[in-house]
Structure 1
Amino acid sequence: MKLTADLISNSPTYINAIKDRELNLSDNNIAVIENLGATRDLNDSLNLCHNCIRILGNFPTLARLKCLYLADNRIAAVERDLSQFLPNLHTLVLSNNDVGDLVDLEPLRLFDSLEILSLVNNPVVSKTNARLWCIWRLSSSLRVLDFERVTLAERQEAKRLFETKDGAYTDLANSILSVKSSAPAPTANTFEPGEGLDLAASSKEKTAEELQKEQSIAELKAKIRDEMAKVEAMEEFI
């Protein structure tokens, strides 16, 4: 299904369990991210789970967006300049996708505020030292990876593996970076927020299947919330 302004305006928007304003575009067989300027950047969270998206990209500037849920898609690549359009992204859930190589995650290192990342059930997590690479190479703000708190010991081990004493990359790091990325070139965005589209608040009757999938997402968010609480408690103790 094409992600149109009509689909966006007819999809439910609500305050979710973590008190964010969320737009739910899950389970629509969406293949390409487009036309999200029609949201007018009014949402803290965007739920695109259970679709057929292959490339994470083609966003307009959404400065308000903090949480992006993309579990159960077919994402294999991340647009190189994604961070320019989602400058305040805090949580990115890519569970059950097709990211295959560590180098395909390179665009994520440009996010200044990314604290929570899930790559569960992607081929990339089976790569040797995948977790340590993500801790070393991706956003320095990363605090929870695959629903496990990033520890100081892991940061130290990651630095030992991938960085020499004088700050240069090790041979292992260079070998990972030498793999050709499948990330696409930047693409033009279809809309920017505020282009004059009137979005009416809408609601639709939920089927049992939709309710079950919403419950699955709610459990995922609860898990994220619990992990963040553990991190905050640990920081207070320290």
Structure 2
Amino acid sequence: MKLTADLIASSPSYINAIKDRELDLSSNNIAVIENLGATRDLNDSLNLCHNNIRVLGNFPTLDRLQCLYLADNRIAAIERDLAQFLPRLRTLVLTNNDIGDLVDLEPLKEFGELEILSLVNNPVMSKKDARLWCVWRLASLRVLDFERVKQGERDEAKRLFEAKDGALTDLAKSILDVKSSAPSVANTFEPGEGLDLGSGAVAKEMTAEEIQKEQSISELKAKIRDEMAQVEAMEEYI
């Protein structure tokens, strides 16, 4: 299915459990991210789980968006300048996708506020020292794969990938020397640009499979909330 302005207008939008305005575009067999200018940048969270997306990119500028849920897609590449269009992104869930190499995560280092990242069940996390690489390369992370990032991990990652003079170690260079598969995707919309949102919403009944998927998404969000609460409690104690 194409991600059209009509689909966006007819999809549920609500205040979720953490008091964010969320747009639910899950379980629509969407293959390509497009036309999100039709959201008019009105959402804190965007749910694109259980689709068929292969490239994380082609977003308009969404200054408000903070949480992006993309579990259970086929994402193998991330647009190089994605952070430019999602400047406030704090949570990115890529559970059950197809990211294969550490170098393919390089676009994420440009997200200065990214605190929660899930790469569970991506081939990349089977690479040697994958977690430590993410901890070192993505300096703002506080929770990775639903586990709090510890100071000991930060110290070990720095030792592995950064020389005393601040230069990259040979190990870091070898990781970055792998050719990235992430393409550059043209962004075609600004919020609300040239779009007629007058179409009425069309209600649809949920199948049993869709209900099960919705429950799994809710459990995923609850896990993120719990991990974040633990991190904040630990910081207050320290």
Same fold (TM over 0.5): yes
Alpha-carbon offset, residue 163 of structure 1? 0.5
Equivalence map 1:24-173=2 (5 Å): 24-138=24-138, 140-173=139-172
Q: Size of the alignment, in residue pairs? A: 236
CA offsets per residue over residues 60-91 of structure 1, 9 Å max, x none?
A: 00011000000000000000000000000010
Alpha-carbon offset, residue 206 of structure 1? 2.8
**Matches of 1:81 and 1:111, distance apart in 2:** 10
Partner of 2:9 in structure 1?
9
RMSD: 1.2
- TM-score normalised according to structure 1 size: 0.96
Identity of paired residues, percent? Answer: 80
**Dislocated runs of 4+, deviation >3 Å:** 199-205
Structure 1 unmatched runs, 5+: none
Alpha-carbon offset, residue 208 of structure 1? 2.8
Alpha-carbon offset, residue 237 of structure 1? 1.1
Please say if residues 13 and 201 of structure 1, whose CA atoms lie closer than 8 Å, have aligned partners that are also in contact.
Answer: no
Partner of 1:20 in structure 2?
20
Alpha-carbon offset, residue 164 of structure 1? 0.8
Equivalent position SS for 2:22: strand
CA offsets per residue over residues 109-166 of structure 1, 9 Å max, x none?
A: 000110000000000000000000000012x211000000000000000000001111
- Per mean C-alpha deviation after superposition, the further-off stretch among 190-199 and 64-73 is 190-199
Alpha-carbon offset, residue 230 of structure 1? 0.8
**Matches of 1:27 and 1:146, distance apart in 2:** 23
For residues 199 and 96 of structure 1, do their structure 2 counterparts lie closer, same or farther at Cα, with a shift above 3 Å needed? farther
Partner of 1:190 in structure 2?
188
Structure 2 unmatched runs, 5+: none
